[in-house]
Every structure is written in structure tokens, then in C-alpha cells.
Amino acid sequence: MKYGKATAIALAALPYGTPAFAADIVRLMGTTPIISVQSTKGMYDLERCMIEVDSPVMPQVYRQPDQPERVMFVWDGIGGGLGGVSAVARIDGVKNGKVTFWGREKILRRIKPCLE
């Protein structure tokens, strides 16, 4: 079987790939939350604020169609959290969002003004 030059290079590079880190969100969320607070702000205002905050790591935002009143934020941080996850925040409720936060205090300090 004949391989092209690009295929041969890719196959030769396989053993030298970068290490993979699994982001174990469930394991972090299985720990005791650092904070759980009921806000007077709505979900969308909280979400906008938490995304726009000055942070060295941007959160990834997750939604599920079967849970329209819930949004989850995940901040990556290789080595800073469990399995490469630095922090997780979940907002429950559209009108008065309840924010639950797990993870590094550094991220919490940056988003805390959004909760007040």
C-alpha cells in the first residue's frame, strides 16, 4: 500500500503528540461548592457580565435544549483544577438566577461583582 508524503509525516509524528488532559467537570461539581447565591439579576445579565469580566481565561458556555433555565460556565486551567478544569459556575433560573460556583478563588474574585 502506498502512502503520500503528508500521511507518512503524520504517522511519524504520532508518538510525539502533545499530552491530553481530560476536563472532568462532573468530578469538580461533585465537590462542595465554594459559593451558592441567589441573585436579583436575570440569567442573561449574569451570563453577559461573567463573559465580559476581565479574566485571563475565557469561559466556555454550555446549554442543553432540555434545560432552558440552566447555563453552565467552565474555565480551563491545566493543572489548576481537577482534570484541567479551573472552575465551573452554573446559573439556574431565568428571572432571578441562582449561581453555584466550584473551583479556584481567583476566578470567583473576578466574577463576584456580577453576582451583587
Q: Note the pLDDT tens digit of each residue in 71-97.
A: 999 998 754 444 578 899 999 999 999
CB-based burial, 68-84: b 16+ in 10 Å, e otherwise: eebbbbbbbbeebbbeb
CATH of the domain at 99: 3.30.160
Q: Is residue 9 part of a domain?
A: no
Q: Is residue 85 part of a domain?
A: yes
Q: Note the pLDDT tens digit of each residue in 53-75.
A: 877 778 899 999 999 999 999 99
- Sign of the four-CA dihedral 114, 45, 98, 83: negative
Q: Is residue 78 part of a domain?
A: yes
Structurally, the chain folds into a number of domains equal to 1
What pTM was computed for the model? 0.74
Q: Is residue 10 part of a domain?
A: no
**Residue-range definition of the domain harbouring residue 99:** 22-115
